[in-house]
Amino acid sequence: MTAPTTGTTIEVSGLSVGFGDKIVQHDLSFTVTPGSIFAIMGGSGCGKSTVMKAMIGLLRPKAGTIHVGDEDYWAASAARRAEIGRRFGVLFQSSALWSSMSTAENVALPLRMLTRLDEASIDALVRVKLSLVGLASSGAVMPSDLSGGMRKRAGLARALALDPDILFFDEPAAGLDPITARRLDDLILEVRDGFGTTVVMVSHELPSLFGICDDGIFLDADSKTAIAHGAPQTLRDQCDHPIVHAFMTRSRLGDDQDSPGEGHDKRC
């Protein structure tokens, strides 16, 4: 894998997302800087995955813009958007591996579909990606015979297949035991540090958020917008919005407040 020569900034401005008449999140503005690990945080159902879907081209925003570098992603033609999307690697919560293909065939799929490389080159690249994620000897194994952690790593190898500038993860640690989740976190850090890849990650796993993310946004389900911006550790230590504080310290809403319920209009 070659290190990207220049990082890509993602600039989200005035973004609203939703389904039909329903607005899930509105008026979101944030910047993902090159080489950062950026967290989209918030409680269950607040709209984290929906925001990410808009960022990776699966859901057209209701309003606002998403600039990838200097290009307005959703103003671009579908063909151009697909081209920009080739700089993205995506790992879905379920890993989304094809069950009828071996692990190696899954990793080879984007190379077969989106490049003109010959079979020998694809084979060599697949081996590199699999060894990068510690699955060098599992290429022939079918996804159903991989453990949960191995499936995530196989999904990561496939997301890395085209040497992406930006990696998107939806709940990478979901369903993993703490030790396996920690290994995956370390792997994400290695990829970022080794290749300068920008990472956008939907997560509510506190150890991952504190361990690897250096910036982020906190979405609120009630007000349907962001109530805090910043690194997870900073939000934990310095944000006194009751919802953010309760989430970041895993405490009951109101536990540490002099007057529970006050301050819900605060922003950090």
Ligand X SMILES: Nc1ncnc2c1ncn2[C@@H]1O[C@H](COP(=O)(O)OP(=O)(O)OP(=O)(O)O)[C@@H](O)[C@H]1O
Binding mask 115-154 for ligand X (x = CB under 6 A): ----------------------------------------
222 near ligand X (CB under 6 A): no
User: Which of 26, 48, 151, 236 is close enough to bind ligand X by CB under 6 A?
Assistant: 48
Residues facing residue 217 across a β-bridge: 40, 229
Give start and end residues of each alpha helix (H) in the chain: 48-55, 78-85, 103-114, 119-132, 148-159, 178-195, 206-212, 232-238, 242-248
15 near ligand X (CB under 6 A): no
Site for ligand X in 182-221 (CB under 6 A): none
User: Which of 14, 19, 58, 100 is close enough to bind ligand X by CB under 6 A?
Assistant: 19
Smallest gap from Cβ 225 to ligand X, in A, equals 13
Ramachandran assignment for 20, one of left (phi > 0), alpha (psi -120 to 50 degrees), beta (any other) = left
Site for ligand X in 239-268 (CB under 6 A): none
User: Which of 47, 110, 139, 149 is close enough to bind ligand X by CB under 6 A?
Assistant: 47
Q: Which is nearer to ligand X, 48 or 236 (CB)?
A: 48
Contact indicator for 229, 30 with CB cutoff of 8 Å: yes
Pick the stretch among 8-16, 47-55, 74-82, 159-167 that binds ligand X (CB under 6 A): 47-55
Pick the stretch among 41-49, 109-117, 183-191, 245-253 that binds ligand X (CB under 6 A): 41-49
Q: What share of the chain is helix, strand, coil (3-state, %, to 5)?
A: 35, 20, 40
User: Which of 45, 178, 207, 260 is close enough to bind ligand X by CB under 6 A?
Assistant: 45
Q: DSSP string spanning 36-72? A: -EEEEEESTTSSHHHHHHHHTTSS--SEEEEEETTEE
Q: Which residue has the tokens 């989740």?
A: 181
CA–CA gap between residue 14 and residue 268 (Å, rounded): 18
98 near ligand X (CB under 6 A): no
Smallest gap from Cβ 32 to ligand X, in A, equals 17
User: Which of 16, 49, 223, 234 is close enough to bind ligand X by CB under 6 A?
Assistant: 49
Ramachandran assignment for 197, one of left (phi > 0), alpha (psi -120 to 50 degrees), beta (any other) = beta
Q: Which is nearer to ligand X, 45 or 194 (CB)?
A: 45
Pick the stretch among 46-54, 98-106, 185-193, 252-260 that binds ligand X (CB under 6 A): 46-54
Contact indicator for 268, 262 with CB cutoff of 8 Å: no
Tokens at 172, concatenated: 């990478």
> Residue numbers of the site for ligand X (CB under 6 A)?
19, 24, 42, 44-50
